Amino acid sequence: MKALKIIIGLLKLIVLVIVLLFAANYFLSDKVNDYTYPIRYKEYVDKYSRQYNVDRALIYAIIKNESDFNPYAESNAQAKGLMQIMDTSYEFAKKSIVLNNDDIFDKKTNIQIGTWLLSHLTQRFGDIRYAVMAYNAGPENVASWINSGYLPQDANYSTWNIPFGETAIYLDKVMKTKEIYHKKLQHN
């Protein structure tokens, strides 16, 4: 009888722990998701998304994967800011758009340049996947890969033979992060 009471008590405790774990997961998952995939600099992302006709989810995915929302990030390759703008991209963008600030680390300026560049690359290649790869590996590399038949447009990108492993990983991460942001932005 005493053993049965102990077993029943343990079963109740196990059920309680399971219920608490599910409740914690339910109530905390949004908080973890907000921390892991934040919506920051919304004013600038919204403005330049509309101005340059670029999906907000793509802009957030690029920022997340390039700098993890660190406006002062600088890579070994000297890419700078939230969207990791190279000096050559900065100079190229300045020929086509009006910038109110010359500081590449300025959040608004960096998002404007990065979003304009995504728009330009999407227009050039006609496919967001190619634009994302060009953002990472450079447009001339992507043009060469397309011409060489490595990237058939009608195929799923996971089947492509992307010559740069880093770019293949980058494309996959950005596309998956973009889907997460699509879901988040539908609820905001």
Closest to 178 in 3D by CA, of 31, 37, 28: 37
H/E stretch holding 8: helix 2-36
Side-chain half-sphere exposure of 73, counting CA atoms within 13 A: 20
Two structure tokens written together for 72: 């002062």
pLDDT digits (tens, 9 = 90+) for 73-102: 999 999 999 999 999 999 999 999 999 888
Q: How confident is the model at residue 106 (pLDDT cuts 50, 70, 90)?
A: very high
For residues 12 and 53, which has the higher predicted lDDT (pLDDT)? 53
Task: State percent of the chain over pLDDT 70.
Answer: 89
pTM of the model: 0.83
Two structure tokens written together for 116: 């304009």
CATH architecture of structural domain 40-187: Orthogonal Bundle (1.10)
Q: What is the DSSP track for 71-140?
A: TT-B-TT--BTTTTB-HHHHHHHHTTS--S---TTSHHHHHHHHHHHHHHHHHHHSSHHHHHHHHHH-HH
Q: What is the pLDDT of residue 155?
A: 80
66 catalytic per annotation: yes
Catalytic residue (choose from 66, 140, 166, 179): 66
How far apart CA 87 and CA 14 sit, in angstroms, is: 58
For the cut 90, the answer to whether the pLDDT of residue 140 exceeds it is yes
For the cut 80, the answer to whether the pLDDT of residue 179 exceeds it is yes
